[in-house]
Amino acid sequence: MTSALALPANIYFHTGETPGREGNQHHSLTPYETIHVKDGLVVIAVGNERLWAQFCQAINANDLKDDPRYRNNTDRMTNRPALAQELSDRLSQYNRDELIGQLREHAVPCAQVRTVAEALEEPHLKAREMVVDISQAQLGKIRTLGNPIKLSAAPALIQKPPPALGEHNDEILKELGLDESQETEN
């Protein structure tokens, strides 16, 4: 988790300033963020001037590429609120798959932001057995997440289902030193 702090940590180490919250935006690159479209969110990662030109071409926005306010990343960062509004106005007209298709045709890094339901239906997760069904005495078959560690010589198995609600109450309350009368009070 600490590696996620690489950029903010270096800013702090070298300036003494604690960086503010960035939300879904990159600290020093734009556009490098999530964008709202008609049917969801798309992440775009315009990390250099070549990608900026390709991005503008992909969304048919050469006027933005030629706009002096957005000439380079420094200018785009200075004018980030105006650029964000321009992109919001234009990209909100796209469907997620349509925008991703156009961006990928122009080699602009991007991806859809999936809902939990969409993420759990990913073929890759199923192929990696990351969504598994197990049996639970009271509930029957239940779906849960598999173990992400896959070792061919020692496969990880989910051998026990989760406990039923209250199944271990007696053990826990006794461990806490509560007797039967105190158990019912709580």
* Secondary structure E strands in the chain: 32-37, 40-45, 110-113, 131-136, 140-145
Return d(Cα 149, Cα 84) in angstroms, integer: 40
Tell me the range of 109-113, 158-162, 172-176 where mean pLDDT is highest: 109-113
Residue 132 confidence class, pLDDT cut points 50, 70, 90: confident
Domain boundaries, the chain: 9-113, 123-185
What pLDDT is stored for residue 68 in this prediction? 97
Per-residue pLDDT, averaged over 138-158, amounts to 84
What pLDDT is stored for residue 105 in this prediction? 98
Return d(Cα 66, Cα 16) in angstroms, integer: 36
What pLDDT is stored for residue 7 in this prediction? 80
Residue 185 confidence class, pLDDT cut points 50, 70, 90: low
What pLDDT is stored for residue 20 in this prediction? 83
Q: pLDDT per residue over 21-63, tens digit each?
A: 888 888 889 999 999 999 999 999 999 999 999 999 999 999 9
For 118, residues 6+ apart whose C-beta sits below 8 A from its C-beta are 112
Return d(Cα 66, Cα 122) in angstroms, integer: 39
| Range 9-113: architecture per CATH | 2-Layer Sandwich (3.30)
Return d(Cα 181, Cα 153) in angstroms, integer: 50
Return d(Cα 103, Cα 100) in angstroms, integer: 5
Q: How many CB atoms lie within 10 A of CB 163?
A: 10
Question: Are the C-beta atoms of 109 and 51 separated by less than 8 Å?
Answer: yes
Position 143 pLDDT exceeds 90: no
How many degrees, rounded to 5, is the angle at CA 168 between CA 138 and CA 184? 105
Residue 122 confidence class, pLDDT cut points 50, 70, 90: very high
The string over 78-101, giving b where at least 16 C-beta atoms fall within 10 Å of a residue's C-beta and e elsewhere, is ebeeebbebbeeebeebebeebbe
**Comparison of pLDDT for 178 and 35, the residue scoring more:** 35
What pLDDT is stored for residue 186 in this prediction? 52
Question: For residue 149, which amino acid is it?
Answer: I
